Amino acid sequence: MSSRLFRIVAAAVSLTLLYLAERRRGVAADASALPVRLRQTLDELGGTFIKIGQALSMRPDLFPEDYLRQLRDLRERARPFSSTEARAELERALRRPVEQVFQTFDSEPFAAASIAQVHRATLPDGQEVIVKIRRPHMRERIDSDMRILVAVARIAGAAIPSFRRLQPERLAREMWANLRRETDLLQEARNIRRFSDAYRQRTDVYVPEAFETLSSEAILVQVMSHGRSIEDSAISQDGSRIAGVLVDFYLEQLLTTGLFHGDPHPGNLFVMEDGRICFHDFGLVGHLDHTTRRNLGIFLQAFVHQDAGWMLDAAIALSLIDRQAERTAFVQGIEEILSDYSSLPLKDWSIADAFLRVMRLGDGAHVVVPYNLMIFVRALFLIEGCLRRLDPNFNVLATIIAKGEAALAHTLGGRPDPAAMARLKTELALSAEDLPSLLASWLHRAHQDGGDLALGVRVHQSDETERRLDRRAALAALALLSAGMLVTSALLAQAHIGPEVIGLPVTALIGFIVAIWICMRVLRWINILWRR
């Protein structure tokens, strides 16, 4: 523990001293050695810190592109742990001997990373599976490393004013929570089930089934799949088709269902013999709610149509830009971004890059971009990288325009959410039940006031100007009340709630009558005021 603490603190001090030295010498950002040093330091610390670097690579709202580029290059190079440890971890998670669960189990892993390693096995029925085993004491190591990092972040934020904008302690705690979630292999099994259920109807994509009953926080058992990496030169002849499937599939994920694979790097994508794309590693899965999907669709349309004002509105709705931002300056910034793209051929347009550049307008002041949008940006960059590997001439934007129309239509103009409609019907039923008594009460007050249905506060001892203003305010309120009653009555009529007369629910009919009566009174009073 003490040696680990010393290594982490020493690494943090070294990076801080380099940062302060470069600031004192006035080193330009593009000449800074910090991005490379940061990647090397995280790589040397390994395990938890490689995962931290990968998480930071999803934060374009906080770090310049030079840093992100280096962090994206972090690769998980880890030695496998021993077969004895692997078997012990497996039996601890299964709570029984390996032989009681698997017909065969290969003690030597065929893949290893900083968090877990993967073994081949077969079930008693002969089904080939993979068994993903988390490293021994991995959760404890993450917690230990992150406690140290949180303390270092707290000190750095207090000691270096320029770090405070990054909110280092909050960022460290957020990464800690996400790391714990991503290293929960039972959660990964559940992600696989959700993904498989959501996209079961697709014939061009395959998600190997996970066995949740055999999985736990420390192990994941999943169907074994075979295929070629999308980086394999043998599939280059089919690259354009595969690229088209990827774009189509991600349009469905991002704009229709909202459930998307957040880590589609080449190591997690295989092409099977029958041409289907097989997805692996569901530790990082993002979810976009309907409102976010709708705003993403709007942003995409605005980008395609080169409309800066429209893009700004969508960016504000997505929380990429502060709602209090000075509009003119941000529109100019987006126009500059669009101007840069207008000089490029369509195949070189990057939605991920445009999204990132919009996020950086205003230096991210007073904006905390939602975590799922961070996963979204990471996924965009990885997918665009895959597309360029598959087919360097692939026109992403043209494919989105051609294939994305249906997804955009579904997102921007789909049928109302059934839950929202159920709530609306319930509220209408309650309103229908209360409407007769409310209307009776309003009519009783009108009768007591000599036929005047007054709203608001009466001012008996005011001058003529105040009385006129008060009357005009009352008329405006009545007009709004009448409009609201007409809308409510129309909804009641459409919902067909309660007994009906001449084809209309009684409550709706009463509402229409009272609304029309109020309209007539308002028009009569307006006529009187006009003559005065």
pLDDT of res. 3? 76
* Whether 380 contacts 351, CB under 8 Å: yes
Burial of 389 (0-12, 13-18, 19+ CB in 10 A): middle
pLDDT of res. 457? 43
* Whether 324 contacts 366, CB under 8 Å: yes
* Whether 34 contacts 56, CB under 8 Å: no
Query: 128-159 pLDDT, tens per residue?
Result: 999 999 989 888 888 988 888 888 888 877 77
pLDDT of res. 217? 93
Task: Reply yes or no on whether the pLDDT at 512 is more than 70.
Answer: yes
Query: 270-309 pLDDT, tens per residue?
Result: 999 999 999 988 988 889 998 898 888 888 888 888 889 8
pLDDT of res. 220? 95
Tell me how far the alpha carbon of residue 315 is from its chain's centroid. Answer: 13
Coil, strand or helix at 105:
strand
3-state secondary structure 197-223: HHCCCCCCEECCCECHHHCCCCEEEEE
Coil, strand or helix at 485:
helix
pLDDT of res. 194? 92
pLDDT of res. 95? 92
Cα separation of 501 and 508, whole Å?
A: 10
DSSP states along 18-75? HHHHHHHHT--GGG-SHHHHHHHHHHHH-THHHHHHHHHTT-TTTS-HHHHHHHHT--
Cα separation of 116 and 51, whole Å?
A: 12
Out of 18-27, 238-247, 440-449, 479-488, least confident range: 440-449
Task: Reply yes or no on whether the pLDDT at 27 is more than 50.
Answer: yes
Query: 388-402 pLDDT, tens per residue?
Result: 888 888 877 777 777
483 vs 198, which has greater pLDDT? 198
Query: 64-82 pLDDT, tens per residue?
Result: 778 888 887 776 666 888 9
Query: What are the boundaries of each domain within the chain?
Result: 2-76+139-180, 78-136+184-224, 286-413, 419-531
- What CATH number belongs to 78-136+184-224? 3.30.200
Amino acid at 171: L
Query: 305-350 pLDDT, tens per residue?
Result: 888 989 999 888 888 887 777 788 889 889 998 888 877 776 777 8
